[in-house]
Amino acid sequence: MSKRFTDTNKYKKPFIRGLKGPYKLFWDYLYHDCDYAGIWIVDFEIAQVYLGEDMPINKKDALHYFNNGENKIIEIDGGKKWFIPSFVEFQYGELNENNRVHNSVINALKKYNVFDKQKRQNKPLISPLQGAMDKDKEEGLLRKEQNTNKLLIEKIQILPEYKETFLLWLDYKKKRKESYKDITSTTLAYKKLLRLSEHDPKKAVKIVENSMANNWAGLFELDMKNKTNNKPIYQCPVKGWKFGESFNDSKQGCKDCEENNKFLFLKCKTAFNNR
C-alpha cells in the first residue's frame, strides 16, 4: 500500500471550500487514486461506486468546477486520462532529472507531453518538507518578535494587569509592520492606553480588541456616539480631530488637507462615510 503526503489545511483553502460536497470528496479521491505521476485513468463508474450514490458526480461538472479560474486538470490521451499538476508539485517539489525517483515521474509526464507544461508554471515547486521548514522558520521569527515585545514591556515598567493586553497590541502592530520605533514611542502608546481606559484594565482590553477588529492603526476611545444619528463620532487617525454628523463639521485643518493633500483627504472622508 503506497503512502502519500497530505495537506492538513486543504479544506481551509478557497478552492476546496468553494466546491460542492460530492466534488470535494471526488477531488480528494483523485489524489488517492491517481498514479505516482499524478495521472488518473478516467473511470467515473468506479469512482461513483467508491464515493457512494449519495455523492453524484459527472465528468462535465467536474472539469467545470476543477478548472474554474485555473486548470487543475489537464486531459491527456484523448481524454482517457487526467493529469493533476498540483499532485506532482505537492508530492515531489521541484522535479530533478538527476533524482532516480523523479526520473520515473518525468518519463511518465514526457510520454504524454505535459512535462514542459509543468516546468513552465509560474510558481516555484515547493516540497512538503520545504514547506514545513518554512513554517517552522516563520513560527520561530514570530516567537522571537513576541520575546522582543516582552522584553520591551519589562523595560517600560508596565502595570502587571496591563501586560497581557499591551503585549497583544504590540504583536498586532508588529504583524501590520507598524512597530513602535523605540522605548519612548512605546511608552507614549502605553500611557495613551492608560488614559483612554481610565486606568481600567477591562476597558483597556475592549479598546485594544476594538482597534484590532476594525483594523485600525491606533487606539481610540470606546463608544463615541453621536446623539443625533447614533453613529460613532469620527476621529481622524492622522490629526486626531473629532467630528460627527457631517463631514463638514470638521475643523479648518481638514479643509487645508483637502487643498494640500487630496489623497489623504479622500481616504479620511471614505473612512468617515464607512462608520
pTM of the complete model beyond 0.75: no
C-alpha cell at 82: 487526467
Query: How far, in Å, CA of 92 to CA of 87, rounded?
Result: 8
Query: How far, in Å, CA of 107 to CA of 113, rounded?
Result: 10
Instruction: Return the pLDDT at 221.
Output: 86
Could you tell me the mean pLDDT of each successive run of 10 residues in the chain, 275 residues long?
81 89 95 92 94 94 92 92 91 83 87 74 46 48 54 74 88 83 85 90 92 87 54 59 52 59 67 61
Tell me, what DSSP letter sits at residue 125?
P
- CB burial class (10 A; 0-12, 13-18, 19+) of residue 65? buried
Instruction: Return the pLDDT at 59.
Output: 95
Query: How far, in Å, CA of 172 to CA of 10, rounded?
Result: 26
Query: How far, in Å, CA of 15 to CA of 21, rounded?
Result: 12
Instruction: Outline where 81-238 has alpha helix (H).
Output: 85-92, 100-111, 115-119, 128-155, 160-175, 183-197, 201-213
Instruction: Return the pLDDT at 207.
Output: 93
Which whole-number Å values give the CA distances from 25 to 17, 34, 47, 75, 154, in the listed order? Answer: 11, 14, 10, 20, 51
Report the DSSP beta bridge partners of residue 82: 40, 75
Instruction: Return the pLDDT at 61.
Output: 95
Instruction: Return the pLDDT at 170.
Output: 87
Instruction: Return the pLDDT at 45.
Output: 94
Give domain limits for the chain. Answer: 10-128, 147-218, 224-275
Q: Are 62 and 75 in contact (CB under 8 A)?
A: no
3-class DSSP assignment, residue 206: helix
Strands 81-83 and 234-235: unpaired
Which whole-number Å values give the CA distances from 248 to 76, 120, 245, 260, 270, in the listed order? Answer: 64, 55, 9, 17, 13
3-class DSSP assignment, residue 228: coil
Q: Are 19 and 69 in contact (CB under 8 A)?
A: no
Instruction: Return the pLDDT at 89.
Output: 87
